[in-house]
Amino acid sequence: MSIYYELIRRCARTGARRGRLKTKHGTVETPAFMPVGTQGTVKAMSSPELAELKTEMLLANSYHLYLRPGVEVIARAGGLHKLMQWPGGILTDSGGFQIFSLGNLRKIEDEGVTFTSHIDGSTHYFTPERVVRIQNLLGSDVAMVLDYFLPHGSGHSEVEAAVKRVTRWARRCLKSHLREDQALFGIVQGGVYQHLRERSAEELVALDFPGYAVGGLSVGEPKAQMYEILEHTVPLLPPEKPRYLMGVGSPDALLEGARWGLDLFDCVLPTRIARNGRVMTSRGYLNIRNAVYAADMTPLDETCDCPVCRNYSRAYIRHLINAGEILGMRLTTYHNLYYLSRLMREIRAAIDEDRFERYYRRMKPLLEQHYGGAGKCRS
C-alpha cells in the first residue's frame, strides 16, 4: 500500500486521536498542520527551514504547477520532491479550489473543466483523468481527486447536483490512478446540508479510497456551522484511514478539528498574514506594522522560543516590514508557522498523555477569544 495509517491512541471522551501516516518520504505524526506551498514553495521559506520547524508534510497545487513550470519540467527533475529539494511528504491538491475561486476564468461541464489561464489567457482542459495523470507525474505522496463545490448560501438542488458530480468524478479518478507509491484521497462534499454530506460520504467510502478529506468548508459559513458539519461528517469516515480537513488553519479551528478526529490540515492563513505583518501570539493576532511597536525591544511573543523571538525585537521586525525588506516577511512567516507547529505538538502530547479533554477545555475559550473572529482560511 502507498501509505499506511497507524492509529496510536484515541481520547476516551472526545473524537480526538493520535496517529502516524507513513509515506515513502517519511512519517507524519498526526494531527498535523501542512504549510501551503502552492507553486512548489512555501512563500519566504526554504526547505531546510521547514525541516527546522519539524514540518513533515506540505501541500502543493497541481493546477498552478501545471501552468508553471509545467509537469514535464517537474518530471524531468525527477518529481516535485527533487525539484524542491524537499525530503518530507507532499500532498497535491487537484485544482478543485480553483474551480471554486476562478469562476470568471473557467467553464464547468460534466466531462471536465476548461480554464482560461490567469497568466497568459491560454485555455486548458482538465478532466478527472488528466488531473490524476498530472499528479502521477508530480510524484506527490498524496493526490486528491478532482472535486467541485459551491459557495456558502447555495441552494439545495445546486449542492445536490454538485455532490453527484463529485462522486462521478471520484470514480473516474480512481480508475485512472496508476502510481502504487501514491495515495489518492476522496473528498466529501455537500455544503451545509447534513444529509448530502451523508450521501457523499457513503458513496465515496464505498469506493474504498486510502484516505478521505472533508472539503467545501471555510468558504463563508460561520465557524459554529462548520463545527456542526464536522461533528456530523467525520464519524462517517473509516476510522482506520487518514482524515484531512481542507483549507482550515486558524488556531481555534485546528483545535476543534482535532477534537473531532481529523488528522491533516492546511491553510494559507499563517503565511499570507505574515507577509502583511500580522503574527500569531499567545495573546492573539499582533499587527507589527503599528506605530506602537516602533521602539518596542521585546520579542513578538514572550512565551515563544522560536529563533525569531529569541533573537529579534518587535521594533526591528516592524522596521523591516514597513521598509519592504524581504527578511521581515521571512521572520514573520517563520514565527507563524512555528506557532502552529507548537500548537499541533501540544495537541498531540495532550492526546498521548490522556489529558486532551482538559487541554481542550482550557484552550478553547482562549483561542476563540483570540482567533474566533478570524475570517476565511482559504486561498
**3-state secondary structure at position 338:** helix
Residue 196 shares a structural domain with residue 318: no
Residue 85 shares a structural domain with residue 152: yes
Helix (H) or strand (E) holding 29: strand 26-30
Residue 298 shares a structural domain with residue 256: no
Domain count, the chain: 2
Last residue of a domain, one of 212, 235, 267: 267
What is the phi/psi pair of residue 279, to 5°? -125, 155
Distance CA 78, CA 180 (A): 17
Residue 319 shares a structural domain with residue 188: no
- The answer to whether residue 129 sits within a structural domain is yes
Residue 283 shares a structural domain with residue 347: yes
Q: How far is CA 349 from the centre of its chain?
A: 21
Residue 162 shares a structural domain with residue 110: yes
Last residue of a domain, one of 224, 252, 267: 267
Assigned C-alpha cell, 375: 475570517
Q: What is the pLDDT of residue 2?
A: 80
Distance CA 235, CA 331 (A): 39
Alpha carbon distance, N-terminus to C-terminus of the chain: 31
What is the phi/psi pair of residue 147, to 5°? -125, 180
What is the phi/psi pair of residue 91, to 5°? -110, 130
Residue 207 shares a structural domain with residue 288: no
Helix (H) or strand (E) holding 60: strand 57-61
Distance CA 63, CA 339 (A): 29
**3-state secondary structure at position 347:** helix
Task: Select which of 93, 141, 252, 263 is catalytic.
Answer: 93
- The answer to whether residue 286 sits within a structural domain is yes
Single-letter amino acid code for the residue at 65: L
Residue 134 shares a structural domain with residue 14: yes
- The number of helices, as runs of H, and strands, as runs of E, in the chain is 15, 16
- The answer to whether residue 144 sits within a structural domain is yes
Distance CA 201, CA 214 (A): 9
Residue 349 belongs to what domain range?
274-371
Query: Is 266 a residue of the active site?
Result: yes
- The answer to whether residue 142 sits within a structural domain is yes
- The answer to whether residue 377 sits within a structural domain is no
Assigned C-alpha cell, 331: 521572520
Q: How far is CA 128 from the centre of its chain?
A: 21
Residue 306 shares a structural domain with residue 237: no
**3-state secondary structure at position 253:** helix
Distance CA 347, CA 325 (A): 34
Assigned C-alpha cell, 236: 462517517
- The answer to whether residue 110 sits within a structural domain is yes
**pLDDT per position in the chain (379 positions), as tens?**
589 999 999 998 999 999 999 999 999 999 999 999 999 999 999 999 999 999 999 999 999 999 999 999 999 999 999 999 999 999 999 999 999 998 899 999 999 999 999 999 999 999 999 999 999 999 999 999 999 999 999 999 999 999 999 999 999 999 999 999 999 999 999 999 999 999 999 999 999 999 999 999 999 999 999 999 999 999 999 999 999 999 999 999 999 999 999 999 999 999 999 999 999 999 999 999 999 999 999 999 999 999 999 999 999 999 999 999 999 999 999 999 999 999 999 999 999 999 999 999 999 999 999 999 644 444 3
pLDDT tens per residue, range 103-156: 899 999 999 999 999 999 999 999 999 999 999 999 999 999 999 999 999 999
Residue 252 shares a structural domain with residue 309: no
State the DSSP string of 113-140.
EEEE-TTT--EEEE-HHHHHHHHHHHT-
- Cα 96–Cα 168–Cα 175 angle in degrees, nearest 5: 90
211-214 and 243-245 as β-strands: parallel, antiparallel, unpaired? Answer: parallel
Assigned C-alpha cell, 153: 448560501
Nearest to residue 375, comparing CAs of 226, 197, 189?
Answer: 226
Residue 232 shares a structural domain with residue 282: no
DSSP character at residue 38? T
Q: Kindly report the CATH number assigned to the domain that includes residue 117.
A: 3.20.20.105
142-144 and 183-188 as β-strands: parallel, antiparallel, unpaired? Answer: parallel
Single-letter amino acid code for the residue at 15: G
- The answer to whether residue 23 sits within a structural domain is yes
Residue 341 shares a structural domain with residue 208: no
Task: Select which of 141, 147, 266, 301 is catalytic.
Answer: 266
- The answer to whether residue 54 sits within a structural domain is yes
Q: How far is CA 346 from the centre of its chain?
A: 19
pLDDT tens per residue, range 346-372: 999 999 999 999 999 999 999 999 999
The strand pairing partners of 93, in sequence order, are 61
Give residue 131's region: left, alpha or beta (phi > 0; psi -120 to 50).
Answer: alpha
What are the angstrom distances between the C-alpha of 96 and each of 40, 61, 112, 128, 379? 18, 10, 11, 10, 12
Single-letter amino acid code for the residue at 331: L
